[in-house]
Amino acid sequence: MKLIKDSGIDIDMLYDVIALCTFGSYNESCWDKERSDIDVMVLSNTELEWTREMEIEDYLTHHLSVYFNHENIHITFINDFVYPFGEIMISSPNKIILQEERYLDYILGYSSFKRDREYLEIMRDYHLKEGGF
């Protein structure tokens, strides 16, 4: 598995991006170059305008397809505490952090968000096992 931090990404072009990571099958042993895509998550510091997302997506799709030698790159944007994508970003073993302090703020904020929802997740899991409400 190639590491995204070694891809030579233009940090200046991604001025509003906190971190990038790969997720999904690329991080697992089930990834198949012939059938699988490479999922890349972009954590931005604000909700981006559509044109800015397209600019980033075009840049990353081209740059990463060359780096990974793989044409099927899929980009997902997040900018808030979105379950389960926040956890996927935090737990991904293959990431590059572009704004370290903002990334640490994101981790702390997500921890609080997760703690506040924990009881709801316990109730959901219980009722799913019991066959509904």
Which pLDDT score, from 0 to 100, does residue 114 have?
72
Structure tokens at 51: 């044109």
As a CATH number, domain 4-129 is: 3.30.460
Q: What mean pLDDT, rounded, does the chain reach?
A: 90
Where do the structural domains in the chain lie, given as residue ranges?
4-129
Residue 117 pLDDT class (50, 70, 90 cuts): low
Backbone angles phi, psi at 21, to 5 degrees: -150, 160
Proportion of the chain above pLDDT 90, given as a percent:
69
Burial of 106 from C-beta contacts in 10 A (0-12 / 13-18 / 19+): buried
55-88 pLDDT, tens per residue? 999 999 999 999 999 999 999 999 988 888 999 9
